[in-house]
A and B are shown apart, each in its own frame.
Chain A
Amino acid sequence: MNAETTRPAIEVRSLRKKFGRTEVLRSVDLEIPRNSVFGFLGPNGAGKTTTMKILVGLLHANGGSASIMGHDVARDSLQARAAIGYLPQAASYWKHLKVRGVLNFTAQRYLDLPRPQLRQHVDETIELAGLTDLVDRKVAKLSGGERQRLGIAEAWVGRPDVLILDEPSSGLDPEGRHEVLSLLDRLRKDATILYSTHILDDIERIADHIAVIDNGSIVAQGSIDSFLVGSTALYSVGFSGPLFGAVEALQTEAWVDAVEPETDGRVTVAVNDRSHAELELLRSFVASGVSVTDFRPARRSLEDIYLEIVGADDDDG
């Protein structure tokens, strides 16, 4: 792989933006790896939408730079936009268009395909987004959930390298949310996805990287596992019956830092080598004759972490 294909899909460097005297973005740095599903979190008004709009060229930054697939969003806006499919927070379309019309229009903006191929391509997208029954519906007559599905289909119809989705699951009922999340999960192999949401569970379910923005600055960024699991890896093991010296046996292993029997029929094991633990921890218990009923990494909830990060930041500022 050369440098061009290993560069992050989206790179943002000390991006600043003011509206009048209000500093909306103070200094935003983002590095979004290719083919990642990147969750963008933060309080209302923290700057998520503003950042996304700068990437799509709808707003102009007051400082710093941003690039999409190597194209600077200010200098090469057109090439940058050719690589982006964008779902705004409240999408509006020309009212006279029908669902197919919107998708046709957008597909033509991205792709130079002969008519029959373009049609087949649009049909595929319609099916993918579950819009088959709605193709001849005027966009003005769509419900909130249907509109949101059209929005995602529309962002994807040009087969861009990068999807930028501003709250793709907001306003959807549980079924709709489930569908949108599984659609994004299916697109992850073909695109880089940057999406914002207020529903932390949506992030926990499909994101592999996250960034938290607060007061116009990125206050945390990294792979989701680095947040949820932390630097020391903890495992929680549930068992029934006696422990037969399993604890003592584990304590002699080099990859184990500590073994803590809890009061509720569980043991917490801190390890310094995750791959070793995944191969050997369960086997070690079973070898000692312990009947293990439950084994999982001790994860913190994303909400705890989020409130910690955003809350701490509020106290400072």
Chain B
Amino acid sequence: MTDLALQTHELRKHFGSTQVLRSVDLAIPRHSIYGFLGPNGAGKSTTMKTVMGLLRPSGGSIEVFGRDTRRYGPSARAHIGYLPQHPRFHPYRTCRQTLLFVAALYPGHRDRRELRDHADELLDAVGLSDLANRRTHGLSGGESQRLGLAQALIAEPELLILDEPAAALDPEGRHDVLEIIEGLRGRTTVFYSTHILEDVQRVSDRVAMISNGRIVADGPLTDLLSGDDSSWTIRTLGSSEAVQARLSSEPWVSSVDVSRRRDSDVWTVRLAAGAPEEQLLPTILADNQLAIAEFHPSDHTLEDAYLAIVGHNNEH
């Protein structure tokens, strides 16, 4: 057995003359929580649908646990739980019946009572226990998404593919979903797309970014977040032009950018290589009237990394 849960090789897909996937290479290690990021229309949903066999690839290959889906599609899907972006259910089934129906589609036989208990546990985990006996007709967007997550989990698949699992949810719902994903860490491989970078930063251990049908960044989250350490953030109140001017004239300072945020100024100070970092604070404090609310090395957020990578890629 290979240690990759999902691998795509030069995956291509076009709709008519529109190239949606140009060449997508993904290698998703077993038991990783893999965030999939990219602009609207970059190819996230198309990649997932192609892996699920809902779309036919125009070229390239897909392997799920080392088996080519072109030959072993259904048996590959026996290992996957999938949450589409807009899940739809048979309107005449209740939420619990929907889960039992989905479970019956997966191979293997499970005790009915056990399965029912498992379904109720999942409904509870996604916050739908009150609606277990309600028909799926008339569920709200958020409720559909919760049920969609539960049905992806019901067969305890080894690989979960989740297309924007938290998009329609409120903060509490998103918190629940992240907890469920976090709870699967070490047992299940989770490959999920999202637009909310803070969520990715919180639970993912690896990230792939897609732009214009190509993977433009791929790797451990920590690698993406490690920026240059020579940049400092300083937040001050009151006028500070004199200090900024003095700072800019220092040979070991390469740039000072100031932006206004609410009632304070936020400075980003970049130091030249080999700069005496310990001199930065005394230089600023030389102005006795300057009130300083923050002073620390700049935080590197996934948003900075994302905008740098995807923004850069879009310009070409």
Contact = CB atoms under 8 A, between A and B. Distances in A.
B251 interface: no
B250 interface: no
Interface stretch (B14-22, B53-61, B68-76, B306-314): B306-314
Contacts of B310: 174-175
A291 B277 CA distance: 10
A303 B175 contact: yes
B294 A174 contact: no
A141 to B, nearest CB: 13
A144 interface: yes
B281 A173 contact: no
Contact of B296 (A201, A208, A294): A294
A78 interface: no
Interface string A293-304: 111110000010
A175 B197 CA distance: 11
A201 B281 CA distance: 29
A174 B291 contact: no
A307 interface: yes
Given A143-B40, A174-B195, A291-B278, A296 B171 contact: no
A286 B281 contact: yes
Contacts of A140: none
B102 interface: no
B195 A172 contact: yes
Interface residues of B, number: 40
A200 B297 CA distance: 24
B293 A278 contact: yes
B275 interface: no
B197 A286 contact: no
Interface in A239-297: 275, 278-279, 282-283, 286, 291-297
Contact of A145 (B40, B198, B290, B306): B40
A221 B38 CA distance: 35
Contacts of A172: 40, 195
A43 interface: yes
B7 to A, nearest CB: 26
Interface string A81-109: 00000000000000000000000000000
A173 B296 contact: no
A143 B41 CA distance: 9
A145 B39 CA distance: 10
A282 B306 contact: no
Contacts of B167: 170-171
A286 B39 CA distance: 46
A173 to B, nearest CB: 4
B112 interface: no
B138 interface: no
Interface in B281-316: 281-282, 285, 289-297, 303, 306-307, 310-311
Nearest to B41: A143
Contact of A174 (B293, B296, B307): B307
B246 to A, nearest CB: 17
A201 B200 CA distance: 13
A284 B104 CA distance: 69
Interface string B161-187: 000000101111111000000000000
Contacts of A171: 167
Contact of A292 (B262, B281, B303): B281
10 contacts: A42-B170, A172-B40, A174-B307, A238-B296, A278-B237, A282-B292, A293-B296, A294-B295, A294-B296, A307-B171
Among all A-B residue pairs, the 6 with the closest Cβ atoms: A278-B291, A294-B296, A295-B295, A173-B39, A43-B170, A296-B294
Given A44-B173, A177-B195, A278-B237, 14 more contacts: A42-B170, A43-B170, A173-B38, A173-B195, A199-B171, A199-B198, A200-B171, A279-B291, A283-B285, A286-B281, A293-B296, A296-B293, A296-B294, A307-B172
